[in-house]
Structure formats: structure tokens, C-alpha cells
Structure 1
Amino acid sequence: MEELIPENSTLARRIRAAASKGTLSHAAILSGSGDRMAAARYFAAALECEGEGERPCLRCRQCRKVLEDIHPDVVTVRDDGHKELPVELVRQLRQDVYIRPNDGARKVYIFADCGQLNQRDQNVLLKIVEEGPAYAAFLFCAEKAAALLPTIRSRCVEWKVAGQPETPEMEQARGLCRVLAQGKTLPAAQWLVSLENRRIKREQLQELLQDAWLLTAQALLLQAGKPEDGTLPEEAALLSRSLSSRRLEGLSALLRQYSADCAYNVGAGHVLGALCAQWERLLHATR
């Protein structure tokens, strides 16, 4: 199974921002050297999400079905037995698209490898990409957008999925999650004070807390029954094992709240102090 959440947190933030504004395109190309299928699933979850606030929330019924690859309205189009997709499969898809969604708000088709789409297939797809029903969405995964015909590309928004090294903020987010997994006040307070002493900027703190929130979201998926197959970060597995579901849900909500607060003109020290105080209250209120 592909990793369920994109490693490229910048891309994840851009998708969430577009989803919150209602500007996610119905047709997208996910190109680059990163994990394109992970990005496509994240994009599909944003389209299907029924949670409030930022989308994808990664916790609602729709998000979890997409990320666990069991959503009836999110279809991965591939044929591992052939070099190219059979034209019959593409024609069947063209008919299927006019059947309304079974469970979600959208019907999403993910083309896992656009190298399997020859010119004939793309010409068959063009009409439904251009004139298909409003609930249909098409996500094309390709290392280079040039794998698709110009007629297809002109109707899509391209999203770059870069295979980038881990950012300093993600490294710090992992460290924060390891400390929080201890379920104690003092180690967390000491870690957060050390962060303030390094004079972290508000924008850096926002990215750190968003990355930490993503790790708690992955941990919640594990607690919900997703197999621990080695594709998720070890910190997500550690949080899942170490914290009760109530504490983990509360922590995830705190990280999400304070990462959002960083968008306003508040000092990083104020956010860190408030997070520390709320973490202590959460520990006392839950087990």
C-alpha cells in the first residue's frame, strides 16, 4: 500500500488552502519525483471530506475511507497486467462516470500511471474531463506532465510533488511528538521552552505544529485500525501506542488549533506557553 499522506507538507498545506476556498480543480496532474499516489489520495480526501474547518480533516468517515483505500467512489485506474490500459477499460470508465456517487460528494478517478495512457485512451477521456458531470474528478499521476496530451493538460491544474529532503520543521515536529508521547508535563514544558529560547519565528512554528498535527492524524488512523505496515513515520506509531484515544484526539485538536493561531499576529512565545498549559490540562483531564 502506498504511503497515505504526502511527505511534502508544503503540498499538503496548499491542497488544504485550496479546499477551504472551494477552488480545488476537478482535474489535476500530480507530477514530480515524490509520492504521487500519496498526494492523489490526499487530494481525493480533500474532495470527499465531510469534516468542518480545514479539509481533509483526516478523521471523518469519508477521509478515512479514502486513505484506507476502501472508498467506493474513489477509483484507482491501473492495469498491472498490461503495458497500456485496454481501451475497453477506458470506455467502461467513460460510462461509469455518469453513475452518481454511491457514498461521497464526488466520484474521483485516480490514474496511477499516465504512462499507461496512450493517445487513443486520452482522446477517449478528453470529453468526460472537459464536459463530464459536476461531481466527477480526475487525478493524473505522471512523473512529467508531458506524458499527457496538450488537450488534457490544458484542462488540468498541475501540482508538483517534489521528493525533497525533510525540512528542519519536520525534524522538530518529530522531536516534539516523541516528547509528547511520554504523556508527561515536565518534558514537554522543557522542550517547548528550549524552542522559545532558540527564538523560533511564528511562520516556522506554524509549519512545525502543522507537521506535528499530521503525525497525530496518522496516529489516529493507526488507532482506528489501519495496519502498522512500516509506511508511516515511527513517531505516529509511538503516539498511537503511548497515548489513549482521548489524549491523542485532544492533542491533535490542540496542535491544529495552535498552528491555525500562528496565522494571526501573535508571538511564538505566547503560542508555546498556551500549548504547554493546555497540554497539562489535557493530561489531568484524561487518561
Structure 2
Amino acid sequence: MSRKMQFHNINNQFNHTDLKVHQCGFEDCNPKHSWGPGVRDYFLIHYVFAGQGTFKKENKEYKIKDKQAFLICPNVVSSYQADTDNPWTYAWVGFNGLKAETYLDLASFNQENPVLPRVEDDSIIEIFNKLNDIEKLNQNKEIKLLGLLYLLISRLIETNGSHLSYHNNLNNQKEGYIKRAISFIENNYHRKITVSELANYVGIDRSYLWSIFKKKVSTSPQQFIIHFKINKARELMKKSNISIREVAQSVGYKDPLAFSKIFKKKEGISPAEFKKHFQK
């Protein structure tokens, strides 16, 4: 492979909840190239094409060689470094979602077992190559990347997975709470929604709702509500010619100025600038 490094940060425009791709990349590392110690707020899989290096998770150290994969879990202190004499070449994909932890558990790939043995499977290499040929995915890029992520995880399950039952009661219960909350937001985004109201609807404590949102969706309930409303506002401004005031009212903001401030904070431009761009 002739590519030295490629990095792709994915701008998600759809409200995927089961799995969501955040980034992917490829690097032919220099000797002693390193990252960390640090934490991520999503899952990050590295697959080593060639060479070797060291991966550290909290107080454990792992020697990684070609055709092995290692996993960084959300909010777990980790670091890694390329070998001095035989630095690795690897590809990676970062993701999260309601089903991410469950799917990885099926592959026996998790916080307790963050390193997979050598995976002799050319289809995994092919999937990573396709992930990093992202510039060729002109139409429906985000959906195609998501499809490749599902293919990757399914191959990991087939090659390394335990035969644990898919229905882990605790995980399914938490996922049920999240889906119930998201369904409420989808049906009520046109008005003001408080986190307390959301927790009462789901039937759990507000602090517990916050903790499972952070664990399963990597954001707080309040930020999820705002993100959902802003996405709906984007859709309205792309597809219709209604005023900013009407857009604000449609996504639950009585004050168009407050809506504009939140929109600009999230999107980097004002609603008027966004609307103007799509009316050219």
C-alpha cells in the first residue's frame, strides 16, 4: 500500500441510533509513532495490516502484530505506539450507538478482551480498504459507510465470536429505555421537551436516563434533544421556503433569536446563512 495516511471525519446527517460511524482512516506509521494516554467517547477498532506495535489499556500492555485488531472502548484510558524497527501499518474505524456494545460482545471484543488473535480473513482487509476509499462513495456516503461497518462487525463475530445469546437482558432493557425516549422526542420535537418530562415518560430516574444516554449514545439527553431539533430544522430549510421564525416554531422554539443562537453554535453558521446556501 502506497498511502501514507488518510483520515476521514464523518458528518452524520441521519439519526442512526443502533450504529453510527464517526471516523475512519489509514496510516503507514513512522517508528515510535504514538497516541495517548487519553480517552475516546466512542469505540475505535484498529486493524494491523503489517508491522507491529504496543497497545496499553489502563495498566495492561499488549504486543500487537500483523492481522491482529485492538479495541479502544469509550472513556477508558488507552495508548498505543508503533514499533521502533518494524512500525505498523493499520486502518481504523470509530463508531458508537445503542447496539455497538452488544455487537462487539458477540465478537468477544470488549473492554475485558480488547485484542483479537490473528484474523486470517481477506474480507476484513477488503472492508477496511473500502472504508478508506470514502472519496469514491459519492452518493449516500454515510449509509454505505454504515453498511461496511455492519459487514466488518459481522465478520468479526463469525471469525472470533462467542456463542453468547444475543438477548442480554440488561443491555436490552437499557436499549428499550433509550428507544422509548427517542420515540418520545420524535413525536414531540415540535414543542419544548424537558429531561425530567422525558424521564417520567420512560419511567426511570432522570440521573439514570442521563447515565444510559451517555453510555449508549455518547451524549446527554438534553444534547440529543437539541441535536434532533437542529437536524429537523435543517431538513425544513432545505426543503421549504418558510421563514426562520416559522422554522423555529416548528421545532419547539418560541423565540427565533434563541433558536438562531443554538443553531449557529451547533452548525457554525446562522439559520439565515444556511437557508441562503440552499436557495442558490
* Length-normalised TM-score, structure 2: 0.28
Task: Indicate the structure with greater helix content.
Answer: 1
TM-score for the superposition, normalised by structure 1: 0.28
Counting strand residues as a fraction of each chain, which structure ranks higher? Answer: 2
